[in-house]
């Protein structure tokens, strides 16, 4: 049974990945993972492949055991894994709840790592892993501190994992977009700490670029010429200058 596994499938980038993969490739089943069952069930209306809703809260470690047990029972061939579950918070580190910030790390970094670890044994040559990073992956970001650090982990983990899995023919890529028009902002924004957003991209464009970059064998995908220039610059500019520029843009 050939499947694609998509986390965070109930909204945002995860949901759009479901639609894009179903449109461009043939799967026996799409395993869609999120907490909101009704949204997962609704995906079937727009998909050709059979959708299997898997209601899990990936912030909880017991969810890993449930996913592992399902794999052992079904023994599928995982052709694609998309780790799109994640969230962030905008604000000063000491002004925000500690547990919520730890939740960011749990979902953005720990669960992504676990999903890769459990899924790779069911992958074959030609299988692909898309891990959702961010433009924040490339630099320290004050006032989006923990979120940015969690996405830096995603970028470095994905690149290194790709090297380790190369001989097995499994490709790994970090998808590192700028601002995207998704529900992310409904959860991240709770005051005016972050007020400057230079440009937005629709998730469909981000995914279209990611699918093309995967075929090209890239280990990271960045949509937009200005964003790619920003990545190039932050690699060469002093870190303190990069952070000061960001803070200046936000009026800090």
Q: Is 11 exposed, middle or buried (0-12, 13-18, 19+ CB in 10 A)?
A: middle
Q: How far is CA 209 from the centre of its chain?
A: 14
Confidence at residue 201, expressed as pLDDT on a 0 to 100 scale? 86
Question: 218: how many CB neighbours lie within 10 A of its CB?
Answer: 16
Confidence at residue 198, expressed as pLDDT on a 0 to 100 scale? 66
Low-confidence ranges of the chain (pLDDT < 70): 182-198
Confidence at residue 180, expressed as pLDDT on a 0 to 100 scale? 82
Q: Give the closest residue to 103 by CA, choosing from 111, 113, 115, 95.
A: 111
Confidence at residue 189, expressed as pLDDT on a 0 to 100 scale? 52
Confidence at residue 249, expressed as pLDDT on a 0 to 100 scale? 87
**Roughly what angle, to the nearest 10 degrees, separates helices 111-119 and 62-74?**
20
Confidence at residue 150, expressed as pLDDT on a 0 to 100 scale? 97
Annotate the chain with DSSP letters as a single string: -EEEEEESTTSHHHHHHHHHHHHHS--SEEEEEES-HHHHHHGGGG-SSEEEEEE--TTSTHHHHHHHHHHHHH--EEEEEEE-------S-GGGS-HHHHHHHHIIIIIHHHHHHHHHGGG--TT-EEEEE--GGGGS--TTSHHHHHHHHHHHHHHHHHHHHHGGGT-EEEEE--SEESSTHHHHH-SSSS------EE-HHHHHHHHHHHHHTT-SEE--SHHHHHHHHHHHHS-HHHHHHHHHHHTT-
- Pairwise CA distance, residues 116 & 174, whole Å: 13
β-pair partners for 128: 80, 171
**pTM higher than 0.85:** yes
Task: Specify whether the CB–CB gap between 148 and 136 falls below 8 A.
Answer: yes
Confidence at residue 195, expressed as pLDDT on a 0 to 100 scale? 57
Confidence at residue 184, expressed as pLDDT on a 0 to 100 scale? 57
User: What's the 3-state SS for 220-249?
Assistant: EECCCHHHHHHHHHHHHCCHHHHHHHHHHH
Confidence at residue 187, expressed as pLDDT on a 0 to 100 scale? 56
Instruction: Report the catalytic residues.
Output: 147
């Amino acid at each position: 049974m050939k499947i694609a596994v998509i986390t965070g499938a109930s909204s945002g980038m995860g949901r759009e990945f479901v639609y894009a993969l179903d449109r461009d490739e043939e799967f026996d089943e799409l395993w869609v993972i999120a907490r909101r069952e009704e949204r997962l069930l609704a995906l079937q209306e727009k998909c050709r492949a059979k959708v299997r809703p898997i209601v899990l809260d990936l912030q909880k470690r017991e969810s890993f055991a449930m996913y592992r047990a399902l794999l052992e029972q079904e023994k599928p061939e995982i052709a694609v894994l998309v780790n799109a579950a994640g969230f962030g918070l905008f604000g000063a580190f000491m002004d925000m709840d500690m547990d919520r910030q730890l939740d960011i790390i749990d979902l953005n970094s720990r669960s992504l790592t676990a999903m890769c670890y459990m899924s790779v044994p069911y992958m074959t040559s030609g299988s692909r892993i898309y891990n959702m990073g961010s433009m924040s992956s490339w630099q320290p970001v004050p006032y989006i501190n923990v979120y940015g650090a969690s996405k830096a982990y995603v970028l470095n983990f994905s690149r290194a994992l790709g090297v380790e899995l190369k001989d097995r023919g499994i490709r790994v890529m970090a998808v590192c977009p700028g601002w995207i028009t998704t529900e992310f902002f409904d959860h991240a924004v709770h005051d005016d700490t972050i007020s400057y957003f230079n440009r937005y991209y629709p998730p469909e464009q981000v995914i279209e670029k990611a699918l093309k970059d995967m075929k090209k064998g890239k280990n990271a995908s960045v949509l937009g010429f200005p964003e790619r220039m920003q990545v190039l610059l932050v690699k060469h500019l002093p870190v303190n200058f990069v952070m000061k520029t960001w803070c200046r843009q936000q009026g800090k």
